[in-house]
């Protein structure tokens, strides 16, 4: 069904006269008549009858009018969904309480006029596919897993190096420490059931284990952060890693401790990814906001795997 014929039909119904609708649409009355006739042929019914006071809707015309208006509304929403400057900026973050979510909340406070649509995709391959298809405008990732470089049409920039902390229960052997070195963690069980093989964060922790001789266990199903915190609180032999900017809430009687890790401090390198041909005007604003304070990346005394792209 031709949307221009539908739009012309609605204009005639609103104006009550073919000539007035022609004036409203900036076309000739003959063009209006042809469009309405074409729509009537498509539908197989008469939509108007000629009357002394103008064009009057038939019974079929009155039945079709609300649907015609809805067709035009749907078409406008579909167009707006891909029109730069008219649709929300669609950004992928890994988790709702992660550092990336905090970065996006800061961006929203700084630019409240920019509409945002924040979503959560699973891994970097899914995110890159979504960037290339236009389903999202940007994604926060660790860029990239070893042996899997980014496609040439995907750009990236490091925006945050997030220090890792050790999270322990109150009875853990390191619970009273003000900080702990990576060497002191050797022999301790670090439980992280959320690590999935083949992901960029899986590659990050594989390299951390290989370089510093740590023991990271991924056994058992991942029941989410609440179950993880319950287990760490109740099990003196277990600890876990958590990003410094990760915002989690737990009951006061859990007695959990967040302990900085040092010598060197392992940092998780968050990068922003986008497609080089993405025209959304808010994307440049987001990049400028996130890179305004990136001068301290790759600071002395920190560690990231060698495959991580340097700050640009």
Give the pLDDT confidence score for residue 312 in this predicted structure.
47
Burial readout 104-118 (b: 16 or more C-beta within 10 A, e: otherwise): beebeeeeeebebeb
- DSSP assignment string, 84-106: TTTSPEEEE-S-TTSHHHHHHHH
Residue 32 CA to its chain's centroid (Å): 44
CB 81 within 8 A of CB 135: no
Q: Tell me if 207 sits within 8 A of 305, measured CB to CB.
A: yes
The per-residue pLDDT for 186 is 96
What digits encode the pLDDT tens for the residues 99-138? 999 999 999 999 999 999 999 988 888 999 999 988 899 9
pLDDT value of position 196: 83
Residue 305 to residues 19, 68, 266, Cα–Cα distance (Å): 71, 58, 9
pLDDT at 81: 61
What is the per-residue DSSP string for 36-48?
HHHHHHHHTS--E
Cβ contacts of 307 within 8 Å, gap of 6 or more = 144, 145, 146, 203, 207
| pLDDT score for 248 | 84
- The C-alpha atoms of residue 13 and residue 246 are separated, in whole angstroms, by 57
Q: Are 178 and 167 in contact (CB under 8 A)?
A: no
Q: pLDDT tens, 17-57?
A: 999 999 999 999 999 999 999 999 999 999 999 877 788 99
Q: Report which secondary-structure segment, H or E, holds 68.
A: helix 59-80
Residues of the chain with pLDDT under 50: 312
Taking the C-alpha atoms of residue 131 and residue 193, their distance in angstroms, rounded to an integer, is 28
Separation between Cα atoms, residue 9 and residue 71, nearest integer Å:
12
Q: Beta strand pairing status for 189-191 and 154-168?
A: unpaired
Task: Give φ, ψ of 157 to 5 degrees.
Answer: -150, 135
Q: Determine the pLDDT at residue 309.
A: 60
CB of 120 within 8 A of CB of 248?
no
The per-residue pLDDT for 292 is 87
| Cα–Cα distance, 43 to 287 (Å, whole number) | 50
Dihedral in degrees, nearest 10, Cα atoms 67, 70, 75, 78? -130
The pLDDT assigned to 222 comes to 84
pTM tops 0.75, yes or no:
no
pLDDT at 273: 95
For residues 198 and 125, the answer to whether their CB atoms sit within 8 Å is no
């Amino acid at each position: 069904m031709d949307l221009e014929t539908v739009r012309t039909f609605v204009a005639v119904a609103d104006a009550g006269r073919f000539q007035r609708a022609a004036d409203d649409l900036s076309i000739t009355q003959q063009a209006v008549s042809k469009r309405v006739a074409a729509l009537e042929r498509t539908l197989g019914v008469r939509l108007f009858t000629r009357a002394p006071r103008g064009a009057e809707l038939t019974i079929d015309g009155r039945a079709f009018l609300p649907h015609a208006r809805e067709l035009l509304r749907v078409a406008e929403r579909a167009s707006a969904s891909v029109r730069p400057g008219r649709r929300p900026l669609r950004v992928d973050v890994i988790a709702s309480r992660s550092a990336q979510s905090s970065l996006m909340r800061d961006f929203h406070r700084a630019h409240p006029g920019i509409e945002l649509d924040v979503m959560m995709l699973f891994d970097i391959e899914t995110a890159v596919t979504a960037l290339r298809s236009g389903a999202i405008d940007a994604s926060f990732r660790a860029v990239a897993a070893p042996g899997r470089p980014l496609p040439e049409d995907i750009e990236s920039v490091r925006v945050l190096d997030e220090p890792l902390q050790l999270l322990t229960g109150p009875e853990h052997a390191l619970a009273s420490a003000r900080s702990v070195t990576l060497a002191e963690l050797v022999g301790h069980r670090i439980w992280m059931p959320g690590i999935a093989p083949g992901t960029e964060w899986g590659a990050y922790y594989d390299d951390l284990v290989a370089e510093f001789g740590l023991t990271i266990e991924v056994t058992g199903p991942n029941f989410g952060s609440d179950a993880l915190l319950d287990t760490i609180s109740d099990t003196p032999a277990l600890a876990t890693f958590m990003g410094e900017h990760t915002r989690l809430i737990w009951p006061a009687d859990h007695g959990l401790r967040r302990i900085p890790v040092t010598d060197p401090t392992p940092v998780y390198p968050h990068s922003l990814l986008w497609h080089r041909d993405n025209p959304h005007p808010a994307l440049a604003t987001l990049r400028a906001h996130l890179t305004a304070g990136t001068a301290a990346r790759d600071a002395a005394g920190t560690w990231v795997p060698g495959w991580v792209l340097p700050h640009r």
